[in-house]
Structure 1
Amino acid sequence: MTTRTTPPFRADHVGSLLRPPELLRAREDHAAGRIDDAELRRVEDEAIRDVVAMQAGLGLQTRTDGEFRRTSWHMDFIYQLQGIHRTDQQIEVHFHNAAGDLDFTSAALTVDGRVGLDHTIFGEDFSFLKSVATSGTPKLTIPSPSMVHYRGGPAAIDRSVYPDDEQFWDDLSGAYAEQVRGVAELGCTYLQLDDTSLAYLNDPAQRAALQEKGADAEHQHERYIRQINAALAGRPEGLTVTTHMCRGNYRSSWTAQGGYDFVAEALFGGLEVDGFFCEFDDPRSGSFAPLRYVPEGKLVVLGLVTTKRPELESKDELKRRIDEAAKYVPLEQLCLSGQCGFSSTVEGNDLTIDQEKAKLALIVETATEVWG
């Protein structure tokens, strides 16, 4: 087997990493008014330098900033799009874990103006990452266009602005196309679109809830795939784009369940990305059978190492599961990663930073032994 010099890599990771204590303290101090924006930025910069060095030291080829400047993996981006604003209404998302249930509460959004882009979102953040990543490939993670719609739904769209849904979708994909061009101009060669909607739609309960709201739940994933493709249609040469599809990740908890079967044929056969990061860390994620729809040339990054629990997986078990996946898609098209990020929100999952590092080291060691 060949090693990979372009992303996604044989040993990869989704993006978000646990925030160190000094960064969490600085965020609290900033929120309380004890430190200013410049001091917070200085602490963030130092934490990012350290976490980039950590990734290099573990032998990873990917470099991210751990999403250290964000509170949430998606809303920090979405609220920067023109025409989209917070509302006073609160949205509750129900999460589950082995100990019980908990809710994630966040401000709702409204599309009350024409969707557009007046600056490259996270552009300054990526430029800093690129400047400190003296080795490896810097990766920028952003939410996919689907998340704007899935989070708010049709009810969030002001019909005086968009009486026609097609205009909304055209503007949304157009704004994302501008974002893609903007990050490429900054030197980004590895962009990841994070998307829970395409995984959530595999869950019959999620589809039923959408149907009750009047949505076409049976075909919504097809719309999302078309809009992502429209956003990527003119992407610059040399920019690798992947998508990560998980079923929710908040404080070691999840929202949806079910394999990728419902969306697999349209998704793997039709989404114009270079690779798919897929959750496969427990029975809730279903079987590898949907991977039979992955075409030649596309990569699948198997999320076999859970980021939700501290227990370290068995290397032999990981190899066995990689072999099982290779029955559906050639081993040459497979890679290995964690099932999700370690800290999709600032709170992070229930692991220590040392346990996080052990998981990442296991991914590197296993990938080296499997692919060379």
Structure 2
Amino acid sequence: MGIPTEPIGSIPRPPALLTALADHAAGRITAGELAEHQDKAVADTIARLTQLGCPVLVDGEQSKPSFATYPINGLTDLSPDGAIIPFADGHTRQLPHLTSGPFSYQTHADTYLKAAQRHTTLPIKQAVIAPSALSLLYPAGGIPGYPRESFIADLVDAAEADIRGCLDAGAHVVQLDFTEGRLSLKLDPSGGVLDAFIALNNQVLERFTTEEQARIGVHTCPGGDQDSTHSLDIDYAGLLPKLFQLQAGNFYLQLASEPDPDRVLAIIATHLPARARAFIGVTDPINPTPETPDQVRDRVLAAARHIPPAQLGTCDDCGFSPFADDTSTSRDLAFAKITARLEGTALAADVLTG
């Protein structure tokens, strides 16, 4: 039997693209020249993943400013002093907040998908940001003439269009990035914020048919930026039962970096819906040591003791560079870890086949 395996999304940008990003920010090159560098990086990413034998490809998010902010890139009615996300090593990321309405996406993810499809005929997965993350754009004090209810209605419509555009364009699967799920329990241990996030995301997911939901997945992790996390100290047990209430067919779950994976696997086995597949993280992007195929094999076999193999897949814990300026992981290290995931998953499949 085969075990499906997929990347999460981002791959570190090559040096030439990082230089081009800096040059564009400084006004030394045009937007068109930057786009050429981005397209070359996408082509190289797809070529390298293909050479490794990846059954499902990604564009590595080479053209995204970040996994979270692509829909608002270029939006003018923003203030920079929005929600702050603290990481364990002391660094922070800050979102902007919206200053006026109505809210709309400036870029939809199908533009990235269609650009990637020019370089391959193999299946491509497209990551999109969960609407729950973008709900943080609305300021606590409100916006005159644009109540939160109107913002949420606009956000739900835009998020549906983002997903549907990717499905219609032929994405193998559309993955909602939901890293704020675990973080919400750090900000609000009562779980109220998490409940609101789940309800909002389901407002979008429930607009899709069962067949469409089978091509939609949700990724969760404790963050991964500059070799640090924002919520690894939060008990997974508080998130997972509610996570599986989301109306999706695939769940991509960070696990390689968990201190007690067997405990987490038992929780997954208890709550995983019968119609869903759990893709288990078998490589840790922020660990500088590449996994070996044997390590990956053993992680998969451990998961198979809890989860029926027919509902099991593998993935990386997180993207390798979710923010364009994160250079903490090298491009070659990312591909080495992906190689280990592919080879180790195949080894585990051979064992399970007997």
Common fold by TM > 0.5: yes
Structure 1: unaligned runs, 5 residues or longer: 4-9, 209-216
Distance verdict in 2 for CA 1:35–1:349, change over 3 Å: closer
Q: Which moved more, 1:190-199 or 1:311-320?
A: 311-320
Give per-residue Cα distances to partners, 1:163-194, cap 9 Å, x unaligned: xx544433321221122222233333321110
Residue pair 1:116, 1:172 contacting (<8 A) in 2 also: yes
For residue 221 of structure 1, what is the aligned residue in structure 2?
194
Alignment of 1:103 onto 2:91? yes
For residue 328 of structure 2, what is the aligned residue in structure 1?
350
Percent identity between matched residues is 25
For residue 145 of structure 1, what is the aligned residue in structure 2?
131
For residue 23 of structure 1, what is the aligned residue in structure 2?
17
Distance verdict in 2 for CA 1:285–1:196, change over 3 Å: farther
For residue 13 of structure 1, what is the aligned residue in structure 2?
7
Per the TM alignment, residue 103 of structure 1 is displaced from its structure 2 partner at its CA by 1.5
Matched position secondary structure for 1:65: coil
Give per-residue Cα distances to partners, 1:94-130, cap 9 Å, x unaligned: 212xxxx23134352126213345x761333221111
Matched position secondary structure for 1:124: helix
Structure 2: unaligned runs, 5 residues or longer: none
In structure 1, distance between residues paired with 2:66 and 2:314: 24
The 5 Å alignment of 1:267-278 reads 267-268=243-244, 270-278=245-253
Distance verdict in 2 for CA 1:184–1:12, change over 3 Å: closer
For residue 231 of structure 1, what is the aligned residue in structure 2?
204
Alignment of 1:72 onto 2:66? yes
Of 240, 254, 276 in structure 2, the residue corresponding to residue 279 of structure 1 is 254
For residue 256 of structure 1, what is the aligned residue in structure 2?
231
Distance verdict in 2 for CA 1:277–1:111, change over 3 Å: farther
Of 101, 109, 113 in structure 2, the residue corresponding to residue 122 of structure 1 is 109
Count of aligned positions: 344
The residue type equivalent to 2:241 in the other structure is E
Q: Which moved more, 1:48-57 or 1:332-341?
A: 332-341
What's the TM-score once normalised by structure 1's chain length?
0.84
Residue pair 2:108, 2:162 contacting (<8 A) in 1 also: yes
Distance verdict in 2 for CA 1:190–1:351, change over 3 Å: same
Of 262, 269, 289 in structure 1, the residue corresponding to residue 266 of structure 2 is 289
Per the TM alignment, residue 366 of structure 1 is displaced from its structure 2 partner at its CA by 0.9
Distance verdict in 2 for CA 1:235–1:358, change over 3 Å: same
In structure 2, distance between residues paired with 1:63 and 1:200: 28
Distance verdict in 2 for CA 1:225–1:105, change over 3 Å: closer
Residue pair 1:77, 1:142 contacting (<8 A) in 2 also: no
Distance verdict in 2 for CA 1:349–1:276, change over 3 Å: farther
Q: Which one has a larger percent strand, Structure 1 or Structure 2? A: 1
Alignment of 1:160 onto 2:133? no
Per the TM alignment, residue 14 of structure 1 is displaced from its structure 2 partner at its CA by 0.5
Of 62, 82, 85 in structure 2, the residue corresponding to residue 93 of structure 1 is 85
Aligned Cα root-mean-square deviation (Å)? 2.5
Matched position secondary structure for 1:252: coil
Alignment of 1:266 onto 2:242? yes
What's the TM-score once normalised by structure 2's chain length?
0.88
In structure 1, distance between residues paired with 2:285 and 2:116: 23
